[in-house]
Amino acid sequence: MRHFIPALALAFAPAIAAAQGAPLRVPATVDTLPNGLTLIIHEDHSVPIVTANVWFHVGSGDEKPGRTGFAHLFEHLMFMGSQNAPYPQFDRLLEAAGANNNGSTTEDRTNYYEDGPSSALPLMLWLEADRMGWLLPPMDKDKVDLQRDVVKNERRQSYENQPYGMVSDHLPKLLYPASHPYSWPVIGSMADLSAASLEDVKDFFRRYYAPNNATLVVAGDVKPDDVRALVRKYFSDIPRGPAIDRPTPAPFVVKDTAIVLEDRVQLPRLYLNWHTVKAWHTDDAALDLASYVLAGSRTSRLTQALVYTGEIATNVQAYQDGKRLDGDFSIVTTARPGRGLDTLRAVVDAEIARLAKDGPTARELDEAKNAAEAAFLRGIQQVAGKADRLNAYFYQTGTPDSFQADLDRYKAVTAADIQRVVRQYLRANRVMASVVPQGKPELAAKKGVIQ
């Protein structure tokens, strides 16, 4: 992320339960420029605001060993000025127009967005086009060195100075083999960040930051023909880039692993991780719903067993993280004072075994589906959320308005599906990390025997 935004409370966010009747639609048009840029437009005239959201199909999953963290470092450089909007015009012009902006990097993609009054759209598009086409002329070593320092500060702030933050350096390389591009964290290592050069920046830009590797969503209070005319005007001159080879990692089996990390924390925390499936795999939605049945609400099984009935943990979370190439499932739980992690580990294993044996109840399944739908709709109350989702769906499925199709995956999941995926994926080899207070290795979990 280019700059930090304090978390907003989501507690009051809207929800919609299942069975509303009409299919969920976020109508969007798709145009392609001759240079390969995809333009997706969604009209929403409820409030006079607009968002421009660009996805470049490049992330840390496209990096090479020795240059980890580069995709994210590059994201920062995209704000350092382009030919016609020299630094610091990008931020100054947008702020003067009442607009906000940011960017973020994942394993699979890098996004950039501006939100503001609908009158600011020409400025947003002019700025995005200028850096898509003409970032390199004013780029120099000083800018790379400066943002390298900023990213190192980001790494310190978001990981190294956070309690339990060091675990995110360890989990990727234990879950994925060294040849797999998910085997390093998006933020990268300090050593690799130090190694990145101006030449690396130029090569990366020429390879990945081309219109044929980008999709642009404009959503909000706009007239589609006006948007098309503006996009043609600003983006048509940008030359097409080379075709891109994407990594195709080989299948693998996770080595059953347990590690213990000591940290300056008061309470020990247990991380359990399994290799599962990528986004939109036939088992992805069932695993997502399984995570809800296990830890999605105060009534879910692990929350009840660990926090309410057992009273041995302060909290527990579970999630399926299906990415473009692969996926993983995590359960994270923090012990109450005086408790060791092996007790928590045993309860988690027992609950997983019970879900694998009997599956969820009909009521649990309904609740999980309703909650999934509510969470899903919560993200698209604002045009900014819709725009990012349209870009995500276009990348994943080729159809921007895949909202109902995505929801249908969840609606189709049966109790038997959940039982099956728990058996198939959560009983296999796993990576277990115990983060314990310094000098207290005895609080770590033992490698469980999986029946």
Partner 1 sequence: MKLRTHLLILLAPVIAGAQQFDRTQVPALDKPPALKLPSLERVSLPNGVTVQLVQQHELPLVQLTLVIAGGTKLDAAQPGLASFMTRMLTEGAGTRDANALQGELAFLGAQLGASAGTDAFTISLNVPKRTLGEALDLLGDVILRPTFRAADVRRQRDLRLASILQRRDNANLLAALAFNQLVFPAGHPYHRPSDGDSSTTAALDSAMVRAFYDQTFVPERARFVVVGDVTAPEMRALLAKRFGSWTRGTSARTMAAVTAKPVANSAVKIYLVDKPNAAQSVIYLGAPGADRLHPDYPALMVMNTILGGSFSSRLNSNLRETKGYTYGISSRFTWAPLAGPFTISSGVRTNVTDSALVEIFKEMKMLRDLAVDAAELERAKAYVALGVPQRFETNSQVAAQLVDLGQYSLPLTSLGDFVAKVGLVTAADVQRVARQYLPASSATLVVVGDVAKIRAAIETLKLGDITLLDAQQVAR
Nearer to partner 1, 106 or 304 (CB): 304
Beta pairing partners, 52:
114, 218
82 bridge partner residues: 85
Minimum distance between the CB of residue 23 and partner 1, rounded to whole angstroms?
A: 14
In the block, residue with structure tokens 């309860």: 347
Beta bridge mates, 263: 437
Nearer to partner 1, 248 or 266 (CB): 266
Cβ–Cβ < 8 Å for 116, 49: yes
Going by DSSP bridges, is the β-strand pair 257-263/430-437 parallel, antiparallel, or unpaired?
A: parallel
When the beta carbons of 195 and 374 are compared against partner 1, the nearer one is: 374
Q: Is 147 helix (H, G, I), strand (E, B) or coil?
A: helix
Inter-axis angle of helices 198-208 and 70-77, nearest 10: 90
123: left (phi over 0), alpha (psi -120 to 50) or beta: alpha
The terminus-to-terminus CA distance of the chain in angstroms comes to 41
Q: Among all chains, which residue has been given the structure tokens 């020990």? A: 268
The nearest distance, CB 249 to partner 1, in angstroms, is 31
Minimum separation from the CB atom of position 234 to partner 1 (A): 8
Residue 208: CB minimum distance to partner 1, A: 17
The whole-angstrom separation of Cα 38 and Cα 211 is 8
Considering the complex, state which of residue 232 and residue 420 has its C-beta at the smaller distance from partner 1.
232
Residue type for position 59: G
Cβ of residue 118: shortest distance to partner 1, in angstroms?
6
Cβ proximity to partner 1: between 48 and 66 the closer is 48
Please give the angle made by the CA atoms of 231, 232 and 234, to the nearest 5 degrees: 65
Identify the three-state secondary structure at position 196.
Answer: coil
Kindly state the tokens that stand for 330.
């995590």
Distance of alpha carbon 292 from alpha carbon 269, whole angstroms: 20
- Minimum distance from residue 275 beta carbon to partner 1 (Å): 30
**For residues 210 and 279, which CB has a smaller minimum distance to partner 1 in the complex?**
210
Nearer to partner 1 by C-beta: 113 or 425? 113
Nearest distance from C-beta of residue 177 to partner 1, angstroms: 29
